[in-house]
Every structure is written in structure tokens, then in C-alpha cells.
Structure 1
């Protein structure tokens, strides 16, 4: 459906964004300025106690300084409530008191058709629930009781029963006024290939209603009571309402629980979700009888940036984990991560909670492993690395996998973690052990502990990106200290400061205070740490005593160098991920040029390319030269 020009702008102008967001957050009244339309609250998209989520009524946008979520009112409705775009527009239009533009006749017909199909599924849901209380469902009730579900649980999750009757549901729906074609289109019945009357799809099964993010019944899942049934679980077919690859079981209650601070846990089946939710893990969802799809991953990330995948400890669970690794790598990045919990062999969440209680499940969740750990475990499982060829094959597999990650910064951190793991695997004693083996009395190689050496060595690093960390930290700290001591300079470099993203929490809080013109305890602590830093201890007096133009030029120079250094690091990570096999002369030359460019960014006044691993004292001395006015006038070399 197309919208007329200006309609969305009119919506945004009529409804203050704070009114939309205010239903999901509690505003910090001490920090907010209601008269100016300037609002602050703890972010609804990630767990935090401080108010780092900013909402500006005049601009109509929100931004979180913690998780960097941002957007307008429509974006918020889509991210917080999982709405489709047009659904969000309708919600905002109702809030603004504006009538939605009339759709074209075909669109109106499709909308009306969908509404009628939802009426069919809701009527079927009510009928299934009534059948669970009949005599024909005695075996089903016994099964649910053995699984620990009482009547309250059955009502909470709307569990029902489909009797083993070929046409019972179809006839019941017809009696309510639904025609057969509509019943078939909703997925409740099927037509024989050779013609004839429609028959019920679900027969002799316990029924689990599947609802979308808006709580509408779009389909069903059924567990067979017959152990010899061809399919233990059966889902609704693909219909205009139901697409099993784009929905999750229990998604609406899970979204509400995650908004209150609970983790998003992805289990394998309906009963696992029910067991988790009843144990207090209400942010539990499950894919619908199939492997997790790209659309389901995106839906999970709209709810929570780091879902926890809880897989059964059997072979099927392991295979599911391997498939998910390959699916998630090309999609992962900041705000789109996964963690994994592998349950004990032979147990699912329901079994574990019954056997060991809620605490056992919580302990596993607390130890959830990141995606990089599962990637590593998959590539080394059952392997012996006793030859250069096998080591090279491991490097190639890992580099191929990392190269699929689209975000440069994420790819860089994956490469760092893989290098660390490879070093530990191949050298047995971590980074601090020399890679050169000692010769034992028998002539065999021995390691430092006197044992036989494996003959392994550390993998050839393309470039050790950590050599710039000291310089980045110093440049970043100096920039923040100057801004804190001379706040009148912040406005001129505000957009550049927003790109800093400090790794240190106190520095991040100080940056947040500078950009929001606020003063928080964490920010004050960050400032005091910078003032006491031995490498920055001389700068406050110099900064405060110089003219504003001079200090502004110094600050601009510092940010130039920091950005150049980080850009060089990103290029190194990209090149490292692209390495295939042994380096040739062209690749070696390319890496040397990148390294020299980074070195010039750190030390522009040097013409040589000596030791790239400059220590902090040398960098601090350079900073003092900048602040004394000797070097900052020289433009940085790009």
C-alpha cells in the first residue's frame, strides 16, 4: 500500500515521540526537561540502570548512548513491538487521530480476506480448547499431567485437543457460518487430491496455538498421541496467515518479558518453551518445527540483541548448532550476536528443570558461550594438528568463516579471538611461551616443561593489531580530557566524538556526559582517572592556560590521528580476513604499506619505519609536544 506524500511527516508532527516511547519506559525526571521536550530514561532495548536513552520531541528522534539504538516513532514501534511497517503506521495514525488513506480495491480485498481467516483460526482455537475437557481427551490430559501441566498451565498456554475424527472440526466451523473454502484456506482442513469433502488436518493430537507478535492466532502445532504416527509434530500449512519460517512460538509474551529485563531464550519445541516460562524464564521462544531461518533470526534480534540459543544435548541439537553457525555468521555484528547453551546429553530444558530445578537452568544460562566458541569447537573437533598442512587447513577454514562477517569491527575481534585460541592450541602454554623448541638429551624437541613438543607453532599473524592499542587509548583519553576541561569546544567536534565508542566504561560515561551536557558519577570517575593518568598528568594545566583556538587545533589534530589510526586498523582486519594460504610477495608488500601508514598516523614527525610497537612513554612525550605547540601545526600524514 502506498502512502500519499507528507502523510508520514504529518503523523510524526502530530504525535510527540515521547508519548509513543513513554508507554515502554519510565522517564528520569531529574535528568529530563519536559518543557524543552528533552527526555531521558533507561534504554528499553538493553538492560541498564542509568538513563542513557535520549528522546528529543523537537527532532522526533531517539538515541541510546549505550547500545546505539536510534530512530523515529515508527522505528521504535517496529523494534519494540515487532510491528511491520504498515502496522506501525496504523498504530501511529490512530494515536494522531488521522484516518489511514484508502487502499486500492485489491488491497482492501486482501485485508478483508485476512480478517476472515483470523476469525476461522480463533474459532478453531476455542473449539480445540473445549475438546480437551471431553472424555475423548482423557489420554491427552493424562499425558499433560505426566509432563507436569495442571489446568492453570493449560489455560495459560491455550492448549487444546483435536479428536481422532476425520471431519469434527470442519463440521463445527461450518455450523458457525464459515464456508468450506475459507476453512481450507486457513489451514484447518484439507481437500483430497481426487476431490471430495474436506477433512480435518489435525486429528488425535494435542494442540498448541501459534500467535504472532500482536497476539493473533495464525496457526497451530499438534503433537500426535499415536506413537506410530508418521509425524510426531504437525504444523499448520503455509497460508496467508502462517509462514513457519517467519514466526516464533510464544513470541508476544516473550517480547513483553524481555522488555522487563529477562533474556530471550530460544528452545527447540513447544514443551520446552512452556517448561521455561513456567520456571520463570518467560522470554522463551521456539522455531516452528524447522531449523532457525534468517527471518526468525532477524525477528529475535528485534526483540533482543543477544538471544541465548538453548539446544538439546543430543546429536540433533548438535547438528542444529552447526547449521546455525553458518546461518548467523554473515548476519552477525554489533547488536546482532548469539550465545549458546548446550544442555547435558539426553536432556531438554523440561527434563533439566524437573530433575535439578530452576537454578540448574540459570547456571547454564550464566555460562552461555558466544558464537566464536562454537565456531572454534566445530573446526577443531576430532582433528590432530601435527603437520603444517593440517595447521594451514585449520587457518583457511577459520579465515573463510570469519571473512563472511560483514561488519569490519566484528570481523577484527573475531580474528583476534581466533588467533588467541590458535596460539593456545598449537603452543600448549599460551602467548607468553617462546615458540622456539628446546632440544632434549635424546635429540627430540621438548617444551619448557620438559615434555615432548608437538612441533606446533603460533600461526603466522598477518599484522598484530594490538600494537596500536596503547596509542589509541592515549589519543582517546587526551581528546576526552581536553573536551572535559574546555567544554566550549565540544559542539564543534560533536559528530566526531559520537564515533569514538570508548572500550572503557568510565570513559564511555564521560563521553555520554559531554554529549548530553550532563554530569554523572561514572562520568566524574572517568574524568578523575584521566586527570590522574601518569601519561596525561601534565596536560590539564597546559590545556587550561592556552588560547581557545590553539586548544581547538590540538583537539582536531588528536582526533585526526585517532581516526587515521583506527581506519588503518580496520583495513588490517579486512586484509587479514582475506588471506588465503601462504602470503605472496604482493600481499606482503600490501601489509607493509598498511603498517607504515599506521605508523605514520601514530608518529607523523618520523620519516623512518622502525619498531612499530611504540611504548606509552614515547607516545605520552609526543602528546606533550603537541600540547606545547611544537607538532600539532603539522598536518597528519594520510
Structure 2
């Protein structure tokens, strides 16, 4: 059914999103400002104690800083009431006192026909479930029992059995007076090309009903009992109810489970989903016999922002990942991504659960799930050999072509930066014998005593420097909640490398501004683990920092946060620019390379000033940029190590 122009705009104008959402949540009166339409509450889509769900009543949009759910009144009703778009519009139109426009007669006729097909499918489901309990279903019951499914599980999943023979279901349904064309249009029977009566689509198979997001039975999946059958699994054909490219097995139950805090897991088949759900992974779904389509991927992202793709540990599972990566890359945007979990060779989720149990699988998922960016890099790295310069160039072209398809410019930039870091780690000279055969000399220690005492200049190794600064920023944010919660935007934009620091900062960003320091510490410890926060704050290099060990004025703390973020970000940019400049030496004029390096070091110089008057003793670097003398010595050592190591030469002494 199509709606007339302006109908939805009028509907949104008549409604208050705050009133619509207010039926499902309890507003946080301390944090909300009713007069300005600025409303906060615990999120109705995931379990939480704090108010991270924000409603802007004037603009008519909501957003959760915890699970990233977002939308307007229509999407809110769709998700909370489990209805489709038109049903949500009907509900809201009734509340707003707006009559629904007249239906198109053809659309009404189609809807009535679909309702009849749904009824036929329910009749077939009851037939299959009854057949499983008869003598003809004994073999199927034994098989299911061997797979660990007890009677209560068979009832929960409505599993049935299609007996051997050509027309058992056909005879049953026609005997109930159901029109023959309805049985055929529902995909339950096929016409004979020999002029005989239509015959059953499913024969001698265990039957799994496939329900849509509204809970309607729209199709079946059948598992063959005959080992000689050419098709081990068979789905219903395409029908007015069923489009397998737009359907997912167990979508309705999984959506409810994900809303309660369960992970969204994508497995390969019915039995995998059932095994996962029965073991406590209730947010499991599966595509229906095909690779994941763009429509299914969009459905997954509407349920959860970061689904975990659980692949069988075989060649087919790896091929499925290869096909999904470019599809996902073309649709990436901030907040949505994928994780990939590849099980050990030859195992599927059901096998792994039986061998190890649910707790081990949960730990395996937590430890082994690769984010999409890592999966993309490793897939392209392993696709072809990469030993020669020509093969490395081919690898670069392939990953750049993929990343170039990311529509979100911010996501694209972070992907490019991450893969360049993976590339540097993989191909840096330490990983193979360098051309220079002599001994490496220890770099000359040119840093002044003042520079050695500096947290930033004391760590010459750039990786340790970045990680240590990340942890310092996280520690300052953790011990100064009044400042860090007011600096959410800056913390969100800061690119964190250290995993503990990232988890701490992410946890802080999603918390209420009303928490005391002790309450905030408790909330972060619940998310990260008390041991992790203790190790962070007891680190010798961090615990001595004034902003961590004692109470300082808010403006001082804010300055330290912004200064450290600016410095480490500028250092990373300068280092990346140096590496890229060396890679591009053959492609660009030397003047262009020089200008890029000068710009990068000037940005680092500005960050090191920290917004203060330029009263410090400065020196001029080789690039022409001014830098503090104490910082310049450490920075030159850093670039000296990196630049000469890349060329296979000993560092300057």
C-alpha cells in the first residue's frame, strides 16, 4: 500500500516522540529537561542501569549511546511492537487521530490472498508436527534425539516430519477443503508435467518452519532422511510470502534476545541455530541456503550493530567470509560493522558445543572474533603469495580497491590507517633478513635529562609510546569523571590503540553524567574488570601523573586531556606521513614529499606547544619545522629507528 504525499510528515508533526517512547521507558528526571524536549532513559533495546537512551523531542529522533539504536517514532514502534512499517503507521495514526488513506483495491486483494496462504502454511505445519509423533516419524525422532534435542526442544522449534510418499500433505489439505491453487502457491506442492495430480514438495524430511519477523510461518526447510537424496537440505520455493534473500531463520526470537543483551550470531544452518539457542546463545540466526545477501545484511544491522559471523571451520566457511567482505564494505558506516568467528577445522557450532560446552564457546568467541578490518586484511594477505615486490604491490592494489568502496569517509580513513599499520607490522625489515649484514648500532642517547623525565619523550619505541599515552588518557578520564563526561565528544573522536584504554573510554562515554567518581569507577570495572582498572591506575608511569594521583581543578584536567590527545594524534600522523612518504618516493616529486613532512612536523609542533605562548627553547628539525629541543631529540631518535630500519640500514649513531 502506498501512502499519499505528506501523510507521514503530518503524522510525525502531530505526534510527540517523547509520549510514544514514554510508554516503554522511565525517564531519568535528573538528566532530562522536559521543557526543552531533551529526554534521557535506560535503553529499551538493551539491558543497562544508566540512562544512555536520548530522545530529542523537538527534532523527533532518538539515539542510544550504548547499543547505537536510532530512529523516529515509526521505527521505535516497529522495533518495540514487532510490527512492519504499515502496521506501525496504523498504530501511530490511531494515536494521532488521523484516518488511514483508502487502500488500493489490488493491494487489498493481494493482502487478503497472502492471509489465506499464511493459514495454509499453519495447517501444513500442524500436519508435519503430528507426523513426527507417528510410527512413520520414528526414524526422524531417533535422529533428532541423537543430535541432543529433547521433546521440549522439538516443541519450542515446532519441528515436524514429512513422511515418504508423493501426496500425503496434498491429500490432507485438499481433504480439509483447501483450494488446490492455494496449496501450490504456498510452495507446498508442485504440478506434474505428466498430467497427474500435483505432488508434495517435501517428502521423507525433517521439517523446520521458517517464520518472519511478525511470527508468520512463511516457508519450510527440510532435512533429508535418505542419505542418497541429492539435496540434503531443501527450502520452500519462492512464493508471495517467501523471498529467501530477504529472510533469516529465527529472526523474531533473535531480535528479542538481542534486545535483552545477547550477541547477534549468524550461523550457517537450522541445526546450528537451534544448537546455539539451546546452549544459551539465543540471538542466533541463519541465512536460508545461500550466501548472505545485501537485504539480509541490512536486516542484521537493524537488529544489532555488530553481528558475529560464525563460520564452519572448512573451505566453504572461508569462502562464505570472502563473499561477505566486499558486500559489507560497500555498506559500512559509523556504528555498523561485522565480527568473524572461524571455528577449528571441520567443526560447526553444534560439533563445538558438544565437544567443549557453552562456556568454552563463549570464551572462544570473545578471544577469536576478528573485526571486519582484520578479516579483510588477512583474507587479502592469504589470497595470493606476497613474497616479491610485485606481489606486495598487487596486495596493496587489492586492499585499496576494497577500502575505496567504503561510502563513509571517516570509516574509510580509519580503515586505510589500520591496514597500513598491519602492513607495516607484516613487512617491516625485522620480519626478514635485511640487505645490510653488519651489526646494528644502538642509537645515540641525545635526549636531555628533562626529556627523559617526560612521559612522552621517555618511550623511544613508537608502539610503547602510543599505548602508554592511550592508557594515561584513559586513567585521567577514569579518575576525573566530572571532566571526562563533559568531554564526551573529544573522547569519542580520539582514536585509541590500546585495547584496555579503548574499553575504559568507551565505557565512560556511555555513562550518566550524574554518577559520582566512585559510582563511575564501579560501572567501568563492571564493563572492563576490576583487575584491568587496578593495573591501569597502578602502572608506575601513570600513577605518578598529577591528574591521576590527586584532585586538580577541572580546567587543568581538561588541558591535560586535550594536550595528551593532541600530542599522540600528531605523533601518529607524523609517523604515518613519514612511512607513506618513503613508500611514495618514486611516485611524487621530492618537493611534494618534503612539503608533506614539513606539514606533519608543524602539526606536531603545534600540538606540543599545548596552546601556550611560544617561550620555550626551540630547534629547527631537518624538515624545517621548529620543535622543542627536548622533544626533538626523542622524535629524531624515533624517526631514525623507523626510517633506517625500513631501508635495511643501521640507525645513525
Which interval holds the TM-score relative to the shorter structure?
0.7 to 0.9
Partner of 1:414: 415
C-alpha spacing 1:134/1:93, structure 2 compared with 1 (3 Å): farther
TM-score (norm 2): 0.72
Partner of 2:380: 379
C-alpha spacing 1:469/1:102, structure 2 compared with 1 (3 Å): farther
Alignment of 1:551-630 (within 5 A): 585=587, 610=623
Inter-partner Cα distance in structure 2 for 1:266 and 1:339: 10
C-alpha spacing 1:46/1:340, structure 2 compared with 1 (3 Å): farther
Partner of 1:532: 547
**Which piece of structure 1 moves more, 596-605 or 320-329?**
596-605
1:346-369 CA-to-partner distances (Å, cap 9, x unmatched) read 221111111221122112211211
Partner of 1:359: 359
C-alpha spacing 1:298/1:531, structure 2 compared with 1 (3 Å): farther
1:497-519 CA-to-partner distances (Å, cap 9, x unmatched) read 89957867777788889xx9866
Tell me whether 1:298 sits opposite 2:313 in the alignment.
Answer: no
**Which piece of structure 1 moves more, 56-65 or 141-150?**
56-65
Partner of 1:315: 315
Instruction: Classify the secondary structure of the residue corresponding to 1:234.
Output: strand
Instruction: Classify the secondary structure of the residue corresponding to 2:109.
Output: helix
1:254-296 CA-to-partner distances (Å, cap 9, x unmatched) read 0000000000111111011111111111101011011111111
Alignment of 1:140-539 (within 5 A): 140-367=140-367, 368-381=369-382, 385-427=386-428, 429=430, 438-440=436-438, 521=517, 532=547
Inter-partner Cα distance in structure 2 for 1:137 and 1:126: 14
Partner of 1:549: none
Inter-partner Cα distance in structure 2 for 1:322 and 1:219: 28
Instruction: Classify the secondary structure of the residue corresponding to 1:222.
Output: strand
Native 8 Å contact 1:224 1:231 kept in 2: yes
Native 8 Å contact 1:510 1:523 kept in 2: no
Instruction: Classify the secondary structure of the residue corresponding to 1:187.
Output: coil
How far has the Cα of 1:388 moved from its partner? 2.0
How far has the Cα of 1:71 moved from its partner? 2.6
C-alpha spacing 1:130/1:149, structure 2 compared with 1 (3 Å): same
Inter-partner Cα distance in structure 1 for 2:133 and 2:242: 27
How far has the Cα of 1:591 moved from its partner? 6.6
How far has the Cα of 1:182 moved from its partner? 1.5
Alignment of 1:540-555 (within 5 A): 540=555
Q: RMSD of aligned C-alpha atoms?
A: 5.0
How far has the Cα of 1:221 moved from its partner? 0.3
How far has the Cα of 1:425 moved from its partner? 2.1
**Which piece of structure 1 moves more, 160-169 or 22-31?**
22-31
1:19-63 CA-to-partner distances (Å, cap 9, x unmatched) read 543565554455446687653223345665431111244543212
Native 8 Å contact 1:25 1:41 kept in 2: yes
C-alpha spacing 1:506/1:382, structure 2 compared with 1 (3 Å): closer
How far has the Cα of 1:72 moved from its partner? 1.3
Inter-partner Cα distance in structure 2 for 1:22 and 1:207: 42
Instruction: Classify the secondary structure of the residue corresponding to 1:321.
Output: helix
How far has the Cα of 1:133 moved from its partner? 1.2
How far has the Cα of 1:418 moved from its partner? 2.0
Native 8 Å contact 1:310 1:342 kept in 2: yes
Inter-partner Cα distance in structure 1 for 2:76 and 2:594: 46
Inter-partner Cα distance in structure 2 for 1:596 and 1:20: 55
Native 8 Å contact 1:250 1:286 kept in 2: yes
**Which piece of structure 1 moves more, 46-55 or 593-602?**
593-602
Partner of 2:532: none
**Which piece of structure 1 moves more, 383-392 or 286-295?**
383-392
Native 8 Å contact 2:131 2:163 kept in 1: yes
1:179-202 CA-to-partner distances (Å, cap 9, x unmatched) read 111111111111124544221111
Aligned residues: 567
Native 8 Å contact 1:402 1:411 kept in 2: yes
How far has the Cα of 1:75 moved from its partner? 2.6
Instruction: Classify the secondary structure of the residue corresponding to 1:54.
Output: strand
Inter-partner Cα distance in structure 1 for 2:163 and 2:416: 56
C-alpha spacing 1:541/1:128, structure 2 compared with 1 (3 Å): closer
Inter-partner Cα distance in structure 1 for 2:423 and 2:355: 38
C-alpha spacing 1:346/1:26, structure 2 compared with 1 (3 Å): farther
Inter-partner Cα distance in structure 2 for 1:22 and 1:213: 24
Q: Which runs of 5+ in 2 are unaligned?
A: 443-461, 477-481, 497-501, 525-542, 607-613, 633-653
C-alpha spacing 1:377/1:271, structure 2 compared with 1 (3 Å): same
Inter-partner Cα distance in structure 1 for 2:281 and 2:182: 37
C-alpha spacing 1:423/1:61, structure 2 compared with 1 (3 Å): closer
Determine which structure has greater relative contact order: mean sequence separation of CA pairs < 8 Å that are 6+ residues apart, divided by chain length: 2
C-alpha spacing 1:83/1:294, structure 2 compared with 1 (3 Å): farther
C-alpha spacing 1:540/1:151, structure 2 compared with 1 (3 Å): closer
1:515-558 CA-to-partner distances (Å, cap 9, x unmatched) read x98666499889xx999389x989948999xxxxxxxxxxxxx9
C-alpha spacing 1:497/1:446, structure 2 compared with 1 (3 Å): closer
Alignment of 1:81-160 (within 5 A): 84-96=84-96, 98-160=98-160
C-alpha spacing 1:369/1:522, structure 2 compared with 1 (3 Å): farther
Inter-partner Cα distance in structure 1 for 2:317 and 2:245: 18
Inter-partner Cα distance in structure 2 for 1:308 and 1:357: 19
C-alpha spacing 1:472/1:7, structure 2 compared with 1 (3 Å): farther
Partner of 1:551: none
Instruction: Classify the secondary structure of the residue corresponding to 1:161.
Output: strand
How far has the Cα of 1:342 moved from its partner? 1.2
1:360-396 CA-to-partner distances (Å, cap 9, x unmatched) read 2112211211122222322333865443222222222
1:570-599 CA-to-partner distances (Å, cap 9, x unmatched) read xx99xx8xx9x9666558776766666666
Inter-partner Cα distance in structure 2 for 1:31 and 1:538: 24
C-alpha spacing 1:517/1:204, structure 2 compared with 1 (3 Å): closer
C-alpha spacing 1:121/1:22, structure 2 compared with 1 (3 Å): farther
TM-score (norm 1): 0.74
1:150-203 CA-to-partner distances (Å, cap 9, x unmatched) read 111111000011111212212222233321111111111111245442211111
Q: Which runs of 5+ in 1 are unaligned?
A: 449-463, 479-483, 545-557, 620-638
Partner of 1:628: none
